[in-house]
Amino acid sequence: MKAADNTYFVTGTDTDAGKTLVTEALLVAARQQKLTTLAIKPVAAGCEHSPDGLRNDDALKLMAQMTEPLSYEEVNPVALEPAIAPHIAAQQVSQKLILEDLIKHCQTVLEKPVQLALIEGAGGWRLPLNDSEYLSGLPQALKLSAILVVGMKLGCINHALLTVEAIVRDDVPLIGWVANGLDASMSCFDENLQTLKHQIKAPLLGVIPCLADMEDKPLAAASYLDVQPLLKAL
């Protein structure tokens, strides 16, 4: 099954690159244009106990910004308590992560009629689910385009270019990328950005500065993003 043209997979150069912030900001920007939205966080590690069960802060953040009233389980079907690599967290609680299960879940949720749907990955592009499957198989199976979040820090050029190579090799279209500022004091930020702009053959959707002191980060980040390349199918 091919997902709708208005559905995208958000991945990052590594853990803490800013995938959730960018996904939130894209949802905010779409809502500002009166568009209906939903988001899915298929796998999340580092969940906390609540009266309703395990809950992941990133998934809750997405729920706060989307317009579609989804249940928590629809947004985050696999919630793991240990804050470690998901496949290892799953092993520790005797749970098996199966790509086909995630594909079927996303297909069901994506049947809901919205104008923009985002699936946020976990970790980086080549995140293991088990001994033979990776989360990158999800956008492959659903024939989604990817949005890459580059965490701007020392080493980001190598991380970004290797990730782009892997995405292209997997035959997943890269519809755009976002430069997300992680360190306000990063040396040669502009020079790194220019190198990435030259090397990555996909639209730059925005440059988000370090927002460490901002109260409403998703709203602030949304002002730096151009969502029009994502809305061409509308």
Q: What's the pLDDT tens digit per position in 136-193?
A: 999 999 999 999 999 999 999 999 999 999 999 999 999 999 999 998 899 999 999 9
Q: Residue 234 has what pLDDT? A: 54
Q: Residue 228 has what pLDDT? A: 87
**Helix (H), strand (E) at residue 85:** none
Nearest CA to 86 out of 39, 37, 138 is that of: 138
CATH architecture of the domain 7-230 equals 3-Layer(aba) Sandwich (3.40)
Q: For the purposes of burial, counting CB atoms within 10 Å of the CB of 101, is it exposed (0-12), middle (13-18) or buried (19 or more)? A: middle
Do 146 and 11 contact (CB within 8 A), yes or no? yes
Q: Residue 1 has what pLDDT? A: 45
Q: Residue 95 has what pLDDT? A: 94
Q: What angle do CA 187, 191, 195 make, to 5 degrees?
A: 130
Q: Residue 2 has what pLDDT? A: 53
Collect all residues with Cβ–Cβ distance below 8 Å to 212 and sequence separation of at least 6: 184
Do 140 and 170 contact (CB within 8 A), yes or no? yes
**Helix (H), strand (E) at residue 229:** none
Q: Measured in Å, how far apart are the chain's first and last C-alpha atoms?
A: 20
Q: Residue 150 has what pLDDT? A: 98
What positions carry a catalytic annotation?
Answer: 41
Q: How many CA atoms lie within 13 A of 153 on its CB side?
A: 13
Report the 10 Å Cβ neighbour count for 55.
17
Nearest CA to 159 out of 201, 125, 210 is that of: 125
Q: Residue 147 has what pLDDT? A: 98
Per the listing, tokens 């730059």 go with 204
**Strand, coil or helix: what is 116?**
strand
Q: Residue 233 has what pLDDT? A: 53
For residue 43, which phi and psi values (nearest 5 degrees)?
-130, 130
Report if pTM > 0.85: yes
For residue 45, which phi and psi values (nearest 5 degrees)?
-105, 160
Say which amino acid occupies 97: L
- Which residues in the chain come in under a pLDDT of 70? 1-4, 232-234
* Cα 31 to the center of its chain, rounded Å: 18
